[in-house]
Amino acid sequence: MLITDKHKINEYYKALVDREQSFVGIFFVGVKTTSVFCIATCRARKPKQENVEFFSSFKDALDNGYRPCKICKPTENANETPEQIETAIQLVKDNPKQKIKDYQLREIGISPEVVRRWFKKNYGITYQTFQRMYRINSAFQELKNGKNTTNTAFDSGYESLSGFGYTFKKIMGNSPKNSEDKTVILISRHTTPIGPMFICATENGICLVEFVDRKMLETEFKDLQNKLNAVIVTGENDHIKLAKKELDEYFNGTRKEFTVKLVTPGTDFQNSVWTILQDIPYGKTVSYQTQAEKLNNAKAIRAVASANGHNRISIIIPCHRVIGKDGKMTGYGGGIERKKWLLEHEEKKSAPYQLKIY
Ligand SMILES: [Zn+2]
């Protein structure tokens, strides 16, 4: 959780400046200017108070786009960390752009099961999720740094394409084959009550809205870049601004439909499924079966489920409104808990006024 209590913030800031050992693990401090997070005892020069924010857990700091500080090593030092785990963490830091596979851990005598269990217990995330978040945060940071090296044309939302293409190519996949017909996908972060999201748009509309810790997010980035022959750069355009506004209204309960333009590269079948999804009214749910019947293809349940899973525009294309035939929550890219939250939120906001009759 982001700490918002003023009193606590002052107390934590003082502990940070004083390098209070007793506050290690109690808070994690994100330094906005460098996008790293630290523990209380960090030896680095202390940032100004207006440049920090405090989180109650390690995962919250990661979720909000921070990477572990190289000096105080919050991952290793916040709680007593076994040597095996330290090594596994170091492996991620030394190879930020690679996925560390189980066999690579085994090769150096580390048990992947032990690592998985330790992460889950101490940080509430898996080692795989930690790796993913570390990569995504590093990539996003590189994109932002690319921006700082050039002042040109940033106002229009475009920025140093060359610097970025290079770093991003390594992390996110191919860069455009032909620079002539290069498309630009802008990417921006947005905070919501159930976690930060990435919002992407081309000049034609929104092409991605996903929670930053979503599984397969990098695959979606790669797909988008390939399908649109595009590079991803940080920035905002009018579509992103409008999407943020509408999402805020949605989360406040004052918006039930979205008007922002969408860009959904995919197969014809996928697009027909995504179109049908947008017809499910706010606060209602349907089954995969019903969805397949609407497509006049009652047997295509699996294909429909798969197309739902490939939806890149969460919430706006409401794949969370599709549930199993028996009413069970089924898989959701952003996690089942978020799906439940969204459905309950919509149910609450769409409940008719109850007239009490005595
Ligand atoms: Zn530090």
Q: How far is CA 202 from CA 23, 66, 199, 233, 236, in A?
A: 44, 26, 11, 10, 10
Dihedral of CA atoms 218, 220, 224, 227 in degrees, nearest 10, equals 110
pLDDT class of 155 with cuts at 50, 70, 90: very low
Task: Tell me, in angstroms, the distance from the centre of ligand 1 to residue 36's CA.
Answer: 7
pLDDT at 19 > cutoff 60: yes
Q: Which residues surround the ion ligand 1 when the cut-off is CB under 5 Å?
A: 38, 42, 44, 69, 71-72
- Catalytic residue list contains 319: yes
Catalytic residue among 42, 200, 207, 319: 319
The whole-number pLDDT of residue 358 equals 54
Residue 176 has pLDDT above 70, yes or no: no
- List, for residues 274-317, the tens digit of each pLDDT value: 999 999 999 999 999 999 999 998 888 899 999 999 999 999 99
Per-residue pLDDT tens digits for 230-272: 878 788 899 999 999 999 999 999 999 999 999 999 999 999 9
Looking at residue 118, what is its pLDDT?
85
Nearest to 274 by CA among 234, 231, 232, 316: 316
CA of 133 to the centre of ligand 1 (A): 18
Distance 173 CA to ligand 1 centre (A): 31
Q: How far is the CA of 252 from the centre of ligand 1 (A)?
A: 36
Ligand 1 centroid–CA 77 distance in Å is 10
Asked whether the predicted pLDDT for residue 85 surpasses 60, the reply is: yes
pLDDT at position 161? 37
For residue 184, pLDDT over 90 is answered with no
pTM score of the predicted model: 0.75
Is residue 168 over pLDDT 50?
Answer: no
CA atoms 309, 313, 314, 316: torsion sign: negative
| b/e code 146-174 from CB counts within 10 Å (16+ = b) | bbeeeeeeeeebbbbbebbbebbeebbbe
Is residue 352 pLDDT above 70, yes or no?
Answer: no
